[in-house]
A and B are shown apart, each in its own frame.
Chain A
Amino acid sequence: AQSVTQPDIHITVSEGASLELRCNYSYGATPYLFWYVQSPGQGLQLLLKYFSGDTLVQGIKGFEAEFKRSQSSFNLRKPSVHWSDAAEYFCAGPDMMFSGGYNKLIFGAGTRLAVHP
Chain B
Amino acid sequence: DGGITQSPKYLFRKEGQNVTLSCEQNLNHDAMYWYRQDPGQGLRLIYYSQIVNDFQKGDIAEGYSVSREKKESFPLTVTSAQKNPTAFYLCASRTGTNTEAFFGQGTRLTVV
Contact = CB atoms under 8 A, between A and B. Distances in A.
B56 interface: yes
Nearest to B96: A103
A114 to B, nearest CB: 15
Contacts of B2: none
Nearest to A109: B42
B79 to A, nearest CB: 22
Range for the number of chain A residues in contact with chain B: 20 to 34
B110 to A, nearest CB: 13
Interface stretch (B14-22, B66-74, B98-106): B98-106
Given A42-B106, A43-B103, A90-B42, A102 B90 contact: no
A51 interface: yes
A46 B106 CA distance: 16
A102 B58 contact: no
A41 B90 CA distance: 10
Nearest to A52: B98
Interface of B is mostly: strand
A107 interface: yes
B90 to A, nearest CB: 6
Contacts of B64: none
A21 B87 CA distance: 26
Interface string A9-21: 1000000000000
Nearest to A43: B103
A105 B104 CA distance: 16
B11 interface: no
A49 B98 CA distance: 10
Contacts of A43: 4, 90, 103-106
Given A103-B31, A108-B42, 11 more contacts: A6-B42, A36-B103, A42-B106, A44-B92, A46-B100, A92-B101, A102-B97, A103-B56, A107-B35, A107-B42, A110-B43
